[in-house]
Structure 1
Amino acid sequence: MTIRILTVDDHPVLREGIAAMLSADDDLDVVAGAGSAESGLEAFRQYLPDITLMDLQMPGMGGLLGVRALRAEFPHARVVVLTTYRGDGNAREAMAAGACGYLLKNALRSELVDCIRKVHAGRRYVSAEVCADIAEHVGEETLTAREQHILQLLAAGLANKQMANQLDISAETIKSHLARIFEKLGARNRTEAIHIAMRRGMLNQPVL
């Protein structure tokens, strides 16, 4: 049985490269490509592929919201996130959004093919590097949605009072949230918290 594939990535060269790379296998067929999550949804409705390869960082709604929107409309859609971003934060959010696989773009062709076939067979697949990132933080308390939002405002350079005004809460409450964020991340200050969050992929996710 041929596995029909949709690639969603804003880099045309990468989409073309994936199509050329997978064309060597008789059971794999890239039926369409799209440059954004929005156009990816339209392409999915038209072609109804077996597997969708979705990038995370794209103009518009982006890949994470794209996965959520796709799975909301098509609950049985099988999506593999194919991205340059490792880190447990990215992977956790993607899998929670409904992705069945998480693979880095520097993966070997053999791993990409293996991932596609396993996900098509109903299994999940996460690259070894990302599995190691997740394992490193197993059992740790995760950030709440409010803490995630404050972390992104912190990374954007906002002072405590500015964050308080934007969120319509007191500056003291902001201080309390920051203290909890630092504790959860194992950071001693703002700069270290941002550095850790970037390394773990916590600042590439949209605030919902």
Structure 2
Amino acid sequence: MTTEEKYKFIVIDDHPFTRDGIIGYVTAHEEFEFIGEFGDTRSVINSTFAGRPDIIILDLNLPGIDGAKSCGLLKQKFQKCKVVAFTQYEGMEKELEKLGFDGYIIKSEKDSLVPVLLAVLNGEKYFKTSAKKNVHTSEKLNKLDDYLKFKELTSREIEVAELLAEGFSNRETGEKLTISESTVETHRKHILEKLGVKSKSELFALLKKHLE
């Protein structure tokens, strides 16, 4: 995947350790390119930052302009950019949706961050918690397996496809399946060819459709 094809993102959070964790986790997935980090919204709005993010990961508890009020300002500065709230506060779905956010996820569900980012980048609004729990019921997984078998994916390719769609990187997928990262990449290429998609984000959107 070339730099031009990657989704560019910035992180706004007043805790450097948290920013580092988010950046490390998201950039482990090849679809994303990190282009900036800030400790508060005003620093972004008043800066000469020339990057054009596709998506912003935004904490709500920020000094100065709080995160809830930041969404509109950020979208004015970065037109067509998506904004996802990544916060410790629960039960804010309706409020954040009204404020113009594109997605919302609580920090205790960090493992679902990448799937949520991909869903939002594919045009969805995401305002529910426990992303993986909502998706992976046995009945829905059986339905997905039937679809993948119909597309003539092997049992191993099905395992790889489901893990990649959940947001796991090639390395993490390899560790879970006890295969090498290069083997995962080979499976990934075969999966994309068989399903007629060009990227993991398109794969995620397609698989999610068959989990509904």
Partner of 1:160: none
1:24-173 aligned within 5 A: 24-42=28-46, 45-87=49-91, 90-109=92-111, 111-128=112-129
* Amino acid aligned to 1:119: V
* Amino acid aligned to 1:4: K
* Amino acid aligned to 1:5: F
Answer whether contact 1:115 1:125 (CA < 8 A) is retained: yes
Partner of 1:136: none
Aligned CA RMSD, in angstroms, stands at 2.0
Answer whether contact 2:42 2:64 (CA < 8 A) is retained: yes
Deviation at 1:91, TM superposition (A): 2.5
* Amino acid aligned to 1:112: L
Which has the larger Rg?
A: 1
Report the secondary structure of 1:29's partner residue: strand
1:138-169 Cα distance to aligned partner (Å, 9 max, x none): xxxxxxxxxxxxxxxxxxxxxxxxxxxxxxxx
* Amino acid aligned to 1:96: K
Query: Higher mean Cα deviation, 4-13 or 67-76?
Result: 67-76
Separation in 2 of the partners of 1:99 and 1:66? Answer: 10
Report the secondary structure of 1:106's partner residue: helix
Separation in 1 of the partners of 2:61 and 2:110? Answer: 21
Deviation at 1:75, TM superposition (A): 4.5
1:19-74 Cα distance to aligned partner (Å, 9 max, x none): 11122211112211100011233569521100100111110011111112122444
Separation in 1 of the partners of 2:103 and 2:48? Answer: 18
CA change 1:118–1:108 in 2 (3 A) is same
Partner of 1:21: 25
Gaps of 5+ in 2: 132-212
* Amino acid aligned to 1:67: C
1:9 aligns with one of 9, 13, 30: 13
Report the secondary structure of 1:39's partner residue: helix
Number of aligned residue pairs: 127
Structure-2-length-normalised TM-score: 0.55
Gaps of 5+ in 1: 131-208
Separation in 2 of the partners of 1:72 and 1:97? Answer: 13
Answer whether contact 1:34 1:43 (CA < 8 A) is retained: no
Separation in 1 of the partners of 2:47 and 2:103? Answer: 20
Query: Higher mean Cα deviation, 43-52 or 97-106?
Result: 43-52
CA change 1:117–1:129 in 2 (3 A) is closer
Answer whether contact 1:32 1:43 (CA < 8 A) is retained: no
Separation in 1 of the partners of 2:29 and 2:103? Answer: 20
Separation in 2 of the partners of 1:46 and 1:121? Answer: 24
1:152-199 Cα distance to aligned partner (Å, 9 max, x none): xxxxxxxxxxxxxxxxxxxxxxxxxxxxxxxxxxxxxxxxxxxxxxxx
Answer whether contact 2:106 2:129 (CA < 8 A) is retained: no
Deviation at 1:108, TM superposition (A): 3.6
Identity of aligned residues (%): 28
